[in-house]
Amino acid sequence: MTLGTRAVLHTARKWKKTLLLFFLLVFIVTLVLSGLAIADAQEEQAEELRGTTGASFTVERDISTGGWSGNASTQEFLSEDMIQQIASLDGVAGYDASLITLPRMFNDKGEELAHENYSFYNYGSYNSQYHELFLSGRFELVEGTHITDDMTGSILISRELAEWNDLKLGDTLTGIYYPENDTPAVDVEIVGIFDVVADKDDQINMYDDTSYYDYSSFAFCSMDVAEGLIKGWGEDEEGISEAYFYVSDAAQLDSVIAEAQDISSINWNNYKISMNDEVYENISSSLKDTGRLITTLIVVITAVSMVLIILILSMSVRSRRKETGILLAVGIAKPAVILQYALETMLIAIVAFPLAYLSSKQVAGALGTLFGKTAANVIVTPQHFMMVAVVGAALLLASVLVSCTPAIRLKPKQILAQME
Amino acid sequence: MSIMELKQVGYSYDNKRKVLRGINAEMKQGKLYAILGPSGCGKTTLLSLIGGLDSPGSGQILFDGKDIAKTGLGDHRKNHVAFIFQAYNLIDYLTPAENVSLTSKLPPLPILERLGLTKEEAKRNVLKLSGGQQQRVAIARALASEAPVILADEPTGNLDEDTARDITEILKESAHQMNKCVVVVTHSNELAREADVVFRLKRGELQTLEKVTGTKNDNRRNGRRGR
């Protein structure tokens, strides 16, 4: 009688043991497959979120290393060429730069707009959507469009300011840097209105011009407007003081910054870089926690399951010590005995694994919702199945081998004597 | 020529208590050998050594002139010897026919029928048979294996008198008609009387006893059921 026949007969006739192992395998493999699918859904969600939240870094002139002229720093400004070099790095999806001016604004009747401060805090901008204040979520565009580098004569103002002065999209304003000194007047059209989402507490104590300005007095204008405002007045003393670079995959922020710092034509002694990734960090930490929880659960389930299966197989093989002794005594070789036991387990697994694959397709979605996933996103793939089947089979074989070893190492007489 | 030969075979438990000391014996095909001795004297151990279930502490066991330790105990068990155990040692999830087929390619039914099992019994779960029937299955398994040496450990120990007598007859036939070398460890004087050669194991040493005569007459008197 071949070992295959013996294995089939044992599997069929010891059906209670067979069913126990079968259902255990179906249960465990279903859980592991579901776990893997949830883990993948988690990873996908993290990737999507990384793309959604993004992150940015700001390059600004480092006034601590530059000289001073009165109250003004003489540190060099950012050049257009330098900004383009950084913007062309892999991973940089967009950029913005700020030419800060402090103009006063007048409506079409020539009346100065009512606002909280003496003047506006106005960023000349290439792409306002990539400005750190928008990327960080402090500001949110609620009407109209962002400033883009192909726009001219455009401005974004806060909703508070718009309501205060009864302004709306399409209205025209006139900005003048120093009306007392007859600096150029520049006409602008309101193309967007933003909401102030955050308060300014985080900036209030910093040595920064913005400390003196209420967020409602902030504005973003196209770069031509900013340049027009300073024309003939302080052109030498004003320039782009900071630029923002948006990185689509927040996880790559460090490497992109490192690449930027490797650009040899930029004298980094004059500039400093800071990361703006609070949004990603906040979200990713909760994602990481969920991911860690899922990974831990998979590991725990797998470990407990394997221990359980090893125990059951071990008990099963132990209960078959006499059979092992008899088979050895009648001249069946040790490898054939081990192979028979392994084959029996594989016969069960070969039916249990595909069934678990099918059941996990039904169960994974429901389990995924427990971890805040959408059922449709939790998909058990054939790759998951292949991985679990290969690893599972290897573990089962190892379990059988480990369980067999104590008995197989004995001589047939010792085994039979123990049984008697 | 002897098929099994024991040369100065010694064995001790845990290298302390010597149970077998310098045992020499020769066993031939076509003969029934009985090994007698008190309980715990090492009879089963000796049988295990002859059958390759264990290795001797000293000495040699030769099959057909070759040391079984060198040719391999597994090979010896597979090709040279067949066991009949007192506890039958049948595989519980196999039928009698399947137990017989475990090590044999011969059709099991003729052998089982010759040993008194019906076709229906041959297909029943082996644990549902009586002790005597299970012992017959064990014997059938040994006979079907085609091994030239049959080793039986107390084959009639758990059986009633009539069944024991039948089993003894089968073993005798195996030796005399099937030309097997049958070695039986037993407490049974009846079985020993049927043996061609009787050994007594005493204090670790094997002695050959004079052949006990009158067995046939005793059997006739007891109305032995022939087969």
B145:A331 CB<8 A: yes
User: Which residues of B fall within a CB distance of 8 Å from A6?
Assistant: 91, 94, 102
Task: Note which residues in 284-303 of chain A have CB less than 8 A from chain B.
Answer: none
For an interface test with A, give the residue of B39, B46, B48, B84 to mutate (most A CBs within 10 A).
Answer: B48
Environment class of A356 (CB within 10 Å of its CB; exposed 0-12, middle 13-18, buried 19+): buried
The position carrying tokens 């066993």 is: B27
Task: Give strand pairing partners of A124.
Answer: A99, A221
A411:B74 CB<8 A: no
In three-state secondary structure terms, A366 is: helix
Burial B75-92 (b: 16+ CB within 10 A, else e): ebbbbbbbbbbbbbbbbe
Is residue B209 in some structural domain? yes
Dihedral of the alpha carbons of B122, B125, B126, B129, in degrees to the nearest 10: -80
A16 touching chain B per CB within 8 A: no
pTM exceeding the 0.80 threshold for the entire prediction: no
User: Residue B85: what pLDDT?
Assistant: 85
CA distance A7 to chain B (A): 11
What's the CA gap between B67 and B79, in Å, rounded? 14
Question: Among partner residues B54, B55, B102, which is closest to A330 by beta-carbon distance?
Answer: B102
Structural contact between residues A93 and A246, judged by C-beta atoms closer than 8 angstroms: yes
B78:A327 CB<8 A: no
The position carrying tokens 């050959």 is: B208
Find the helix or strand (DSSP H, E) in which A105 lies: strand A104-106
> How many domains, in total, are found in chain B?
1
User: Residue A51: what pLDDT?
Assistant: 65
What's the CA gap between A139 and B55, in Å, rounded? 87
Residues in chain A: 420
In three-state secondary structure terms, A320 is: coil
User: Residue A210: what pLDDT?
Assistant: 61
Find the helix or strand (DSSP H, E) in which A36 lies: helix A15-53
Task: Note which residues in 325-344 of chain A have CB less than 8 A from chain B.
Answer: 325-334
User: Residue A209: what pLDDT?
Assistant: 55
Is residue B166 in some structural domain? yes
ipTM: 0.82
User: Which residues of B fall within a CB distance of 8 Å from A413?
Assistant: 45, 48, 53-54
DSSP one-letter string for A223-260: HHHHHHHHTTSSTTT--EEEEEEEESSGGGHHHHHHHH
Is residue B107 in some structural domain? yes
B92:A323 CB<8 A: yes
User: Residue A23: what pLDDT?
Assistant: 92
B116: domain range? 30-41+72-226
User: Residue B38: what pLDDT?
Assistant: 86
Is residue B61 in some structural domain? no
pLDDT in tens, chain A (420 residues): 888 999 999 999 989 989 988 998 999 899 888 888 888 888 887 777 766 666 788 899 888 887 777 777 778 888 888 998 999 999 898 898 888 888 999 998 989 988 878 889 999 999 999 887 887 778 899 999 999 989 999 999 999 999 999 999 999 999 998 888 888 899 999 999 999 887 655 544 344 556 678 888 999 999 999 989 888 776 666 788 889 888 877 778 889 999 999 998 888 898 999 887 776 777 777 777 877 887 888 788 878 887 888 788 878 887 888 888 889 888 888 899 999 999 999 999 999 999 999 999 888 888 877 777 777 778 889 999 999 999 989 988 888 888 888 878 888 888 887 766
In three-state secondary structure terms, A344 is: helix
User: Residue B161: what pLDDT?
Assistant: 80
B93:A9 CB<8 A: yes
User: Residue B227: what pLDDT?
Assistant: 31
User: Residue B225: what pLDDT?
Assistant: 36
Is residue B133 in some structural domain? yes
Is residue B12 in some structural domain? no
A54-99: per-residue pLDDT in tens? 678 889 988 888 777 777 777 888 888 899 899 999 989 889 888 8
A-B Cβ pairs (cutoff 8 Å, strict): 67
User: Which residues of A fall within a CB distance of 8 Å from B102?
Assistant: 1, 6, 327, 330, 332
Domains of chain A, by residue range, sit at 3-48+284-419, 55-276
Environment class of A170 (CB within 10 Å of its CB; exposed 0-12, middle 13-18, buried 19+): exposed
Task: Give strand pairing partners of A172.
Answer: A189
Question: Among partner residues B81, B89, B101, which is closest to A416 by beta-carbon distance?
Answer: B89
What CATH number is given to the structural domain containing B121?
3.40.50.300
Is residue B217 in some structural domain? yes
Q: Which chain B residue has the Cα nearest residue A323?
A: B91
For an interface test with B, give the residue of A316, A322, A413 to mutate (most B CBs within 10 A).
Answer: A413
Q: Which chain B residue has the Cα nearest residue A336?
A: B74
A148-201: per-residue pLDDT in tens? 989 999 999 999 999 999 999 999 999 998 888 888 899 999 999 999 887 655
Q: % helix / strand / coil in chain A, to the nearest 5?
A: 55, 20, 25
Within a 10 A sphere around the Cβ of A219, how many other Cβ atoms? 27
Is residue B116 in some structural domain? yes
Tokens of A184: 């150029």
Structural contact between residues A61 and A76, judged by C-beta atoms closer than 8 angstroms: yes
Question: Among partner residues A1, A325, A327, which is closest to B101 by beta-carbon distance?
Answer: A1
Name the residue among A257, A247, A194 with its Cα closest to residue A52: A247
Tokens of B100: 């017989």
User: Residue A8: what pLDDT?
Assistant: 93
Q: Which chain A residue has the Cα nearest residue B88?
A: A326
B94:A420 CB<8 A: no
User: Residue A207: what pLDDT?
Assistant: 40
For chain B (length 227 residues), average pLDDT per consecutive 10? 90 81 91 89 90 91 92 90 87 92 87 86 89 86 88 81 82 90 88 89 84 45 36
Within a 10 A sphere around the Cβ of B64, how many other Cβ atoms? 14
